[in-house]
Amino acid sequence: MTKPVQPTMTAAYYAQCVISFAVALGSVGIGIVFLPVNPWVRAFLAVAVLYTVTSAFGLAKCVRDRQEAANTASRVDQARLDKLLSEHDPFKVDNL
């Protein structure tokens, strides 16, 4: 059996994701600081952004864990099938 190809993340892609996240969060932070509203409105928006960011991280983790669980179950099933096929001898005659 051939081993399935595991996708790999390059360093450039990882850097792009981190930089993109930092720029987006920084932009929102600067926008909140310079927003012409009362301080309590700024504080509310800042807390809302932080909640959104932490929720996004939590959701990403849940999606990743669910995908890994499905992948692991698939690999266990594949290993069982491989073992069954390797032990099967089509030319074996059962003595009754």
Are 1 and 82 in contact, with CB atoms under 8 Å apart?
yes
With b meaning 16 or more CB within 10 Å and e meaning fewer, what string describes 31-47? ebeeeeeeeeeeeebee
Those residues whose C-beta lies under 8 Å from the C-beta of residue 46, and which sit 6 or more positions away, are 29, 32
- pLDDT at position 80: 82
Mean pLDDT by 10 residues, the chain (96 residues): 68 90 94 94 94 92 85 77 81 71
Tokens of 61: 């983790």
- pLDDT at position 3: 67
Residue with tokens 């926008």: 31
